[in-house]
A and B are shown apart, each in its own frame.
Chain A
Amino acid sequence: MTCTEFIALLDDLMDDRVSAALRAELEEHLRGCEHCVVTLNTTRKTIEIYRSHELYELPNDLRSRLHKAILAKCKKC
């Protein structure tokens, strides 16, 4: 398996959408390719970092203002 082939299957591997046979092939490639190990680990980490950090917090005062505005209009519908 080449690195290009490995990268094309990266998402399927991370999302656990590969058959046992294909997984074995991917793992075989990883044993001999440090570059792809790094790519896999840091891509996983990228997703994890974005998932665990709130970049756009909705402040409570804005939240309640929005709720009021939405519900006031709903009542008029």
Chain B
Amino acid sequence: MPDIQTQGTEEVHPDVLLVNRAREGDVQAFEKLVKQYDRQVFRIAQHITQNREDAEDVVQDSFLKAYEKLDQFQGNSKFYTWLVRIAVNEALMRLRKRRTGRMVSIDEDVETEEGSMPRDLADWGPDPEQQYSQSELAEILRKTIQGLPPGFRVVFVLRDVEGLSTEETAETLGLSVPAVKSRLLRARLQLRERLSRYFRKDKRNGGAK
């Protein structure tokens, strides 16, 4: 068992130790943090920007910004959550640049009533994804989530794909906990509804009735 530094009775998260070393100029410690979280940052950036080049830029800029701002990292939130907040802001900024003249925010298009009540009530087969090849399935999943309003998509991605808690998601996006919960429910229900078109049980026997 390696020695873990403690503060009082609480264990210090290994990331905090890396952050402390990086603050003192240890670039290799920062590199470890990059390697640990670059995939997640890339994924989040892709989901928000829907653009490969932008996502690459977001990865670079987010880590650089994090490095420059390491002194501002308080250690009372997780490093990962703090980093994700930077990445989400960078990604939204990129999205705005691409869509000049159109306001883009996480509040966009969330006033829709769609998805409050399920309409397609057909059950799915036991292994619905087996009906498709891996690449077909990935395409279906990408297309389906891209159809969500950005404000729902980002909540679903942070909470359900990246595994942040509801509170962390709220903190990251500057939303209230009830707002996150309401968006998450509608995002989940809308995705479920849209995926039903592909995964419903009677799909192979002629599709929708």
Contact = CB atoms under 8 A, between A and B. Distances in A.
Interface of A: 3-4, 7-8, 10-11, 15, 35, 38-39, 41-43, 45-47, 49-51, 53-56, 58, 62-63, 66-67, 69-71, 73-75, 77
Interface string B39-72: 1001100110000000110011001100110000
A14 to B, nearest CB: 8
A45 to B, nearest CB: 6
Contacts of B59: 66, 70
A67 B181 contact: no
B145 interface: yes
Nearest to A59: B42
Interface string B171-209: 000000000010011001101100110010000000000
B192 A58 contact: no
A14 B160 CA distance: 12
A71 B31 contact: yes
Contacts of A55: 43, 46-47, 138, 141-142, 145
A27 to B, nearest CB: 19
B121 interface: yes
A45 B181 contact: no
A42 B123 contact: yes
Nearest to B142: A55
Contacts of B142: 55
Contacts of A66: 38, 56, 59-60
B117 interface: yes
Interface residues of B, number: 47
Contact of B195 (A35, A49, A51, A70): A49
Contacts of B16: none
A51 B39 contact: no
Contacts of B124: 41-42, 45
Contacts of B123: 38, 41-42
Given A66-B60, A74-B64, A7 B34 contact: no
Closest CB pairs A-B (n = 5): A56-B46, A46-B192, A58-B42, A43-B192, A70-B63
Contacts of B86: none
